[in-house]
Amino acid sequence: MKIAFCCTDTKAEPWITGLRAALPDASVEVWLPGAPPADCAVVWAPPQQFLDEQPQLKALFNIGAGVDALMRRRLPPGALVVRLDDAGMSVQMAEYVCHAVIRHFREFDGYEADVKQGRWSYRKPRSRADCPVGVMGLGVLGERVARALRVFEFPVNGWSRSPRAVEGVRGFAGTAQFHDFLAASRVLVNLLPLTPDTQDLLNRDTLSRLQPGGYLINVARGAHLVENDLLALLDEGHLAGATLDVFRTEPLPAAHPFWTHPNITITPHTSARTLRDESIAQIAGKIRALERGEPMAGIVDPVRGY
Ligand code: NDP
Ligand code: OXD
């Protein structure tokens, strides 16, 4: 088995070492233009030239959960696209989202500001019943997040394409139930894949449907959010704030208003990092399954785009 490694913005050497250790019978090489044909590839946002030069590839193993960057490319005909499923990301996502929801709900930013000014003051406790959290996307990450939020006894709504039953979570599915889902939620967590159906889905119309004083947590992709619509709804007071991990342009440009907005907290696309060892183990297992002709999890449906 010949494996090509072609990952933009990723230090190749530790991946190559890890993949060679996990697959001792395989040849694993960093792709360079003009390299000989490989059987499969480990990729992250590879250049089009790589895909055009390797039309024989049987499978592309993406070193992230989101395949949007890959699905925008012209892919080798018949190649499977396989994403990471979990590989240590869901627990990180649950930590991140619970932290953001709790910080907002308990007004910890306000307490921190008070304390910095030497002020010992209390805020009125809020009722959890008034803080229903809507999770968009109940897949590998969204389901884990929804379950984690239930541990803190928040009312949780979940929205997916097809109906999903998650214990303790009120389920909504498809476009027919989208507006009801939004109207039932005050905090909105986005964990959808980026596809033609979900691009720009967080916009003035949809965010206005959240309960007043709404709060947005976007941990999926920047292109889900119409950024100026968020700013307008914050200025108008319909939304109380947002925690954003992903942006239309990354790194976030220096002059972008999100950097300094008092009600926006930003992090640099770090809510659930790809963990190299877990990912190598998962990809190696899938490559062995491919060699044996066995089924594997995480195959992307090219029509759905995720
Ligand atoms: P999954 O594919 O496991 O889950 C996707 C979920 O979204 C499913 O429940 C699916 O519905 C639902 N969905 C997809 N399209 C629609 C639609 N049009 N309408 C309603 N629901 C829809 O993905 P993961 O949970 O593994 O990952 C989600 C995303 O998180 C990734 O695509 C990536 O963009 C992002 N991510 C961000 C990271 C970060 O660090 N910020 C790290 C890792 C991932 P159904 O169940 O019916 O199929
Ligand atoms: C991913 C990401 O999709 O890191 O895995 O954003």
Average pLDDT over residues 54-80: 97
- pLDDT > 70 in the chain, percent: 100
Interval 129-146 mean pLDDT: 98
Nearest atom in ligand 2 to the alpha carbon of residue 221 is: 6
DSSP string, 186-234: SEEEE-----TTTTT-BSHHHHHTSPSSEEEEE-S-GGGB-HHHHHHHH
| pLDDT in the model for residue 232 | 98
Does 218 lie in the same domain as 252? Answer: yes
Is 250 contained in some domain? yes
Query: Are 113 and 196 found together in one domain?
Result: yes
Domain annotation covers residue 173: yes
For ligand 1, atom 30, name the residue with the nearest CA: 220
C-alpha closest to that of 137 among 113, 112, 162: 162
Is the model's pTM score more than 0.85?
Answer: yes
Mean pLDDT rounded to a whole number for the chain: 98
**Is residue 280 in some structural domain?**
yes
Atom 48 of ligand 1, residue of closest alpha carbon: 161
Q: Is 261 a catalytic residue?
A: no
Q: What is the pLDDT of residue 83?
A: 98
Total domains present in the chain: 2
Q: Which of 99, 238, 269, 288 is catalytic?
A: 269
Mark whether 83 and 93 lie in a shared domain: no
In a domain, 8, yes or no: yes
The residue written with tokens 């770090």 in the block is 270
Q: Amino acid letter at 209?
A: R
> What order of strands is seen across the sheet that includes strand 27-30?
27-30, 2-7, 40-44, 59-62, 80-82
Question: Are the beta carbons of 186 and 130 closer than 8 angstroms?
Answer: yes
Residue 146 counted as domain residue: yes
Which CATH number do you get for residue 79? Answer: 3.40.50.720
In a domain, 60, yes or no: yes
Rounded average pLDDT over 230-242: 98
Within this chain, do residues 11 and 153 fall inside the same structural domain, yes or no? Answer: no
Residue 170 lies inside a defined structural domain of this protein: yes
pLDDT tens string 32-46: 999 999 999 999 999
Q: Which domain holds residue 179?
A: 89-266
Phi, psi for 212 (deg, rounded to 5):
-55, 145
Q: Are strands 133-136 and 187-190 parallel, antiparallel or unpaired?
A: parallel
Work out the average pLDDT over 211-228: 98
Q: Is 144 in the same domain as 228?
A: yes
Q: How confident is the model at residue 259 (pLDDT cuts 50, 70, 90)?
A: very high
Please tell me whether residues 80 and 160 are part of one structural domain.
no
Q: What is the mean pLDDT of residues 153-169?
A: 98
